[in-house]
Structure 1
Amino acid sequence: MFPRTLLCLALSAAVTPVLADTVWLKNGDRLTGTIKFFDGTKLLLETDYGGSIPLSWKKIATLESDQELLIKEGQISGERAKSLLAAESGKVTLANGDAPRTIELASIQQIMKPKPLVEDLVITGNIDAALDYKRAENDTDDYDIDFKTQMRHGLWRHNATAGYNRELRDDVVTTDNWSTEYALDRFIDEHWFWQGRLEYKRDKIEDLARQRTVGTGPGYQFWDNELGAFSVAGLVNRGDYEFANGEKDNFYSLSMKWDYNRYLLGKTVELFSDGEIGKPLANAADYTFDAAVGLRYKVTDWASLNVKAERDLVNGSEGELDETRYSLGFGVGW
């Protein structure tokens, strides 16, 4: 009977999940889970009882972890810690073999899992596809594909987007356009950055056939963490327009861009919006507006359903464009 009891205890221990990380709060509470990320204000703790829990860094007394983590006390360099050991309130010990080091929690600016090549590399992005087939008195086929990715390391951030939309009504193409954009951000401090960007748009149906834009200017990052991000940028741009009739126009303009996303319900639902408002310097009546807003519902860790509304508006002396699109589709994220 005794050996059988030992066997049952051993099997129970084998199937019981081991929570490697523990966080002690200043009020005496203790939480267990897996440390996912710390961005300077919030520590994200993944738990099996409450999902992703954001914890205020100011409320944490100390913490411990069995996983290897990159601890950054500055914006550029960081230290790989084989594990974290609990210390007195307001401190944590970085365990690295025979030379453990105890530091103040207030000195830590970021905690993350180190990447294989660039330790502090953070890559996020998604591809959304929407297909709409309507068979009625007027047959309609609508294809919409959008790509967006962001890569951050140290003081640099790379942003890339691309999109394609094509619509046929009774086998006649009524919409056929695509666009791509690349922007490079150089952070000056935790919030302020300087951006340079290149953008190209091509439309085979509308009067405004081609748009090329080069711009640069300051930006401000309100927040950027595991629960979402919000940034704005003010740019001075050089724009080149080419119309379907062969006419061309070039001008300088000012624009304001925004990029926002926020995760809700334990990161199951994502609210997102991005866009740009532009104003040419030469003509007080001209302006451009390009924006999107939507919701993304996470089906699995990588798959999602999304609904989105987009508005593209150009009011200029050489031509006009006013287009609104709604889409419901499927996407993958990373």
Structure 2
Amino acid sequence: MLSRTLFYVAAASLVAGAAHADTVWLKNGDRLTGTIKLLDSKKLLLQTEYGGSIPLDWSKISTLQSDNPVLVRRGDYADDVEVKRLKPAGQGEVIVDTDSQGEQTMPLASITQIVPPRPFLRDFTWKGNVDVALDYKRAEEDTDDYDVDFKTQARHGMWRHNGQGSYNKEKSDGEVSTDNWSLEYALDRFINEQFFWQGRVSYDRDKIEDIARQRTIGTGPGYQFWDNELGAFSLTALLDRADYKYQDGTQDNFYSVSMKWNYNRYFSGKTFELFTMGEIGRPLDNTADFSLDSDIGLRYKVTNWASLNLKASKQWVSGAEGHLNETEYSAGFGVTW
């Protein structure tokens, strides 16, 4: 056992001297180098130059090494431990180096999660996705259905830019039953790591339903519960000014309060992603009793950039002069970056 440990330590020293890549030793004797992205759901995700993102079975790993700081969790409900570096140990073990407790050896089986810390003040980052769903049916009734959605987010320092939009159209035997699109831009100014202030503007256009146009301008505080390699979750409370225009030409404008949510969570080495976003609101003058606009779905990552997705969308406005009640289900493909 001692000789095997010395072998791992010596091998790690050679690798560290050549480059700052992380190293993973498998129980079958193979050695892989790259960047450890995360450990979750018993899958270790290793980003490599030669094979992209590779999910590794945690039970097949002998030991590992990383000179980059990570957050390590032991048990599902334990607190994260800040670790300066990981060093190889005997088979099925790893040495963790912390400021508070120094170096200690841990069984790999006791570690349930590894996530690199994401700095609060960071250089420019940009991420997003585009999802497309197309459905053509040729039978007694011909049906064409198009659904395109995009979401993008860019951050630099204390500022975060958020953009999203969608386009939906459905025809049955040449008659259009759904035809709408929407755009939204929101700007976040972070006060600290969790609290931020948001200003947003959105526009919705519908050629079929009673409410033909919706314009909304709002502002309010938000809270970022987490934002790391495993996903993100935030809530935002807004005071809005809304303008509605109906198909018959009449108009409404009113102030409202709303709550927005934005949640996504990766599973199985980022192979699957559960996501939901939306907004629930109520006008202050009771022009409309209730409004809801939400999405929930699941993505399956086929490659580093391509994915398959399932999604359900709900739009509902009740109590207004006009009403809106749409539920859509879609399956399609997408790209992420």
Counterparts of residues 166-315 of structure 1 (less than 5 Å): 166-283=169-286, 286-315=289-318
Q: Which residue in the other structure is 1:82 paired with? A: none
- Counterparts of 2:274 and 2:258 in 1: how far apart (Å)? 23
Secondary structure of 2:269 counterpart:
coil
Structure 1 position 55 matched with structure 2 position 72: yes
Aligned-residue offset at 1:110: 4.0
Amino acid at match of 1:135: R
CA shift digits 1:191-233 (9 cap, x unpaired): 1110000000000111100000000000011100111000010
Asked whether the equivalents of residues 125 and 148 of structure 1 are also in contact (C-alpha less than 8 Å), the reply is yes
SS of match in other structure, 1:120 = coil
Asked whether the equivalents of residues 35 and 46 of structure 1 are also in contact (C-alpha less than 8 Å), the reply is yes
Maintained 8 Å contact 1:62/1:90: no
SS in 2 for 1:50: strand
Q: Distance in 2 between matches of 1:271 and 1:36?
A: 18
Amino acid at match of 1:34: T
Q: CA deviation at 1:314?
A: 0.7
Conservation of the 8 A alpha-carbon contact between 1:19 and 1:34: no
Alignment TM-score, normalising by the size of structure 1: 0.72
Instruction: Tell me the amino acid that sits aligned with residue 155 of structure 2.
Output: R
What letter corresponds to residue 46 of structure 1 in structure 2? L
Classify the secondary structure of the residue corresponding to 2:248: coil
| Secondary structure of 2:81 counterpart | helix
Distance verdict in 2 for CA 1:139–1:223, change over 3 Å: same
Deviations 1:143-189 (A, max 9, x none): 00001000111111100001000000001111110000000001111
Partner of 2:46: 46
With CA pairs under 8 Å and 6+ residues apart, which has the higher RCO, 1 or 2?
2
What percent of counterpart residues are identical? 60
Distance change (3 Å), C-alpha of 1:49 and 1:280: closer
SS of residue in 1 equivalent to 2:323? strand
Distance 2:271 2:327 in 1: 27
CA positional deviation for 1:49: 6.8
In structure 2, distance between residues paired with 1:132 and 1:109: 41
User: RMSD in angstroms over aligned alpha carbons?
Assistant: 3.2
1:327 aligns with 2:313: no
> Structure 1: which 5+ residue stretches go unaligned?
1-12, 24-30, 38-43, 65-86, 92-107, 113-117
CA distance in 2, matches of 1:298, 1:55: 25
Q: What is the 5 A alignment of 1:87-106?
A: 89-90=98-99
Name 2:138's counterpart in structure 1: 135
Partners of 1:170 and 1:246 lie apart in 2 by: 28
How far, CA to CA, are the matches of 1:166 and 1:125 in structure 2? 23
C-alpha distance in 2, partners of 1:21/1:157? 30
Map residues 74-113 of structure 1 onto 2, 5 A cutoff. Answer: 89-90=98-99, 110=118
Aligned counterparts of 1:125 and 1:265: Cα–Cα separation in 2 = 20
Aligned partners of 2:133, 2:184: CA distance in 1, in Å? 20
Q: How many Å separate the matches in 1 of 2:178 and 2:97?
A: 64
| SS of aligned partner of 1:312 | strand
* Cα distance change, pair 51–111 in 1 and its aligned pair in 2 (3 A): farther
Is residue 34 of structure 1 aligned with residue 14 of structure 2?
no
**Structure 2: gaps spanning 5 or more residues:** 1-13, 25-31, 39-43, 48-53, 59-69, 74-79, 88-95, 101-115
* Kept after mapping to 1: 8 A contact 2:311/2:329: yes
Partner Cα distance (1:51, 1:197) in 2: 43
Whole-Å Cα distance in 1 between the matches of residues 138 and 97 of structure 2? 69
